[in-house]
């Protein structure tokens, strides 16, 4: 999965900043992560941050585990989006709008 995430990062970086290295050097891990961090410090996006987070979770053995319920996220979901941090159920639950109460109305 690490190669898949790195490949997605390479594609995004190539489109946005251009790279002086080959896909193989980047995806095969020949380029040290501190050099990747330097590139990301100059050009970043939400998607790059999601993929960077996925790499961190892979390194920490937390990849594929939902941050909401702590259950495994389905492999089919991770294949489509390796940056995903929640299972479908938690994603749906946490994306519901929060109902706000007007405390001034209740106090009157």
The confidence score (pLDDT) of residue 100 equals 58
Q: Which domain holds residue 28?
A: 2-107
Number of domains observed in the structure of the chain: 1
Q: How far is CA 104 from CA 53, 97, 100, in A?
A: 41, 21, 12
How far is residue 31's CA from residue 21's CA, in Å, rounded to a whole number?
8
Tell me the CATH number at 84: 1.20.120
What pLDDT score was predicted for residue 12? 86
Is the whole-model pTM more than 0.75? no
pLDDT value of position 36: 72
> What does the alpha-carbon distance between residue 72 and residue 22 come to, in Å, rounded to a whole number?
34
Compute CA 86 distance to the chain's CA centroid, rounded to the nearest angstrom.
11
> pLDDT value at position 43?
67
pLDDT 10s digits, 33-46: 777 777 777 766 88
pLDDT at 106: 52
**pLDDT of amino acid 95:** 80
d(CA 2, CA 39): 18
Which stretches of the chain score pLDDT less than 50?
A: 108
Look at residue 10 in the predicted model and tell me its pLDDT.
Answer: 87
Which residue in 70, 82, 72, 78 sits closest to 11, CA to CA? 82
């Amino acid at each position: 999965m690490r190669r898949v995430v790195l490949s997605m990062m390479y594609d995004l970086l190539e489109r946005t900043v251009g790279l002086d290295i080959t896909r193989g050097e980047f995806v095969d891990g020949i380029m040290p992560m501190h050099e990747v961090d330097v590139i990301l410090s100059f050009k970043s996006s939400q998607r790059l941050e999601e993929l960077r987070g996925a790499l961190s979770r892979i390194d920490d053995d937390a990849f594929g585990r939902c941050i909401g319920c702590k259950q495994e996220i389905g492999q089919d979901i991770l294949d489509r989006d390796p940056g995903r941090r929640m299972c479908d159920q938690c994603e749906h639950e946490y994306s519901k709008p929060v109902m706000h109460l007007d405390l001034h109305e209740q106090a009157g």
